Structure 1
Amino acid sequence: MPCDLVTVPARQGLEAVDILRRGSGEVPSVGPVVLDGNCDNLGFLVPPGTAAGWDMPGSACTETAGRGLHVPAEPPVSGGAWLLPPDAGIGEVTDPEVLREALGEAARLIEAADGHR
């Protein structure tokens, strides 16, 4: 399946993965997720064309000129590793609106946790 790639800082991404995995319903809320080689960022595979309208502060979405990457067997990040591989019984890609909500909730959780130190 073709896809774009939303990247976020690892801490926010890990929180978002937890939020998405707790999601309701029988259909998984999260698709494949890749961790970069430095463990600094997570990448969520999303439908192609997402980059054109992606404007979430603190994140980026790699545009693939409308062609989309195909969900690869190997992580699409040099030196990276799958956090949730494509064959882990998860969704094919993450819905961008669901991801946007999870990233926002993750940012609020991190801000609250950091404020209580």
Structure 2
Amino acid sequence: MAALPTCDLVTVPARQGLEAVDILRRGDAETVGPVFHDGGGDTLGFLVPPGTADGWDVPGSACTQTERAPEPPSAGTDWLLPPEPGADPDDATLVTDPAVLRAALDEAARLIEAADNCR
């Protein structure tokens, strides 16, 4: 298989990530690229366009460069939302738009804070 283009990876705590996935899917299912989770279920990872890591500054998350691959990026992970089978690796829908992800993560953080304050 030919090498696929690089991308960046935003990792967040699972609770915030799952909320963000719900927010993104409510808006437009096409705005959500592949998402994976770690084996322990502690974090979710969103594939975003290369270069996103250079300016990523969302508290509680990290953004690093990684290789886009047809399998989860590392051992001990699995897809929550896998890439579309046979998708063109240069297709922009294979990644989540970082601005849209940032807004979803911000909204998710606010929802979690509000829920925690109601306890």
Q: Within 2, Cα distance between the matches of 1:54 and 1:44?
A: 13
Partner of 2:24: 20
Taking every aligned residue pair, what percent have the same amino acid on both sides? Answer: 71
Shift of 1:37: 1.2
Judge conservation of contact 1:52–1:63 (CA < 8 Å) in 2: no
Judge conservation of contact 1:7–1:41 (CA < 8 Å) in 2: yes
Equivalent of residue 47 in structure 2, options 45, 48, 60: 45
Shift of 1:87: 1.4
Structure 1 residues without counterparts, runs of 5 or longer: none
Partner of 1:62: 64
Supply the AA of the counterpart residue of 1:23: G
Judge conservation of contact 1:51–1:63 (CA < 8 Å) in 2: yes
Partner-residue secondary structure (3-state), 1:76: coil
Equivalent of residue 83 in structure 2, options 68, 86, 110: 86
Partner of 1:11: 15
Partner-residue secondary structure (3-state), 1:105: helix
Supply the AA of the counterpart residue of 1:116: C
Q: State the number of aligned residues.
A: 109
| TM-score under structure 1 length normalisation | 0.87
Judge conservation of contact 1:34–1:77 (CA < 8 Å) in 2: no
| TM-score under structure 2 length normalisation | 0.85
Judge conservation of contact 2:8–2:51 (CA < 8 Å) in 1: yes
Supply the AA of the counterpart residue of 1:83: L
Shift of 1:29: 1.0
Partner-residue secondary structure (3-state), 2:75: coil
Q: Within 1, Cα distance between the matches of 2:74 and 2:18?
A: 17
Supply the AA of the counterpart residue of 2:117: G
Q: Within 2, Cα distance between the matches of 1:11 and 1:86?
A: 22
Partner of 2:113: 111
Partner of 1:2: 6
Partner-residue secondary structure (3-state), 1:19: helix
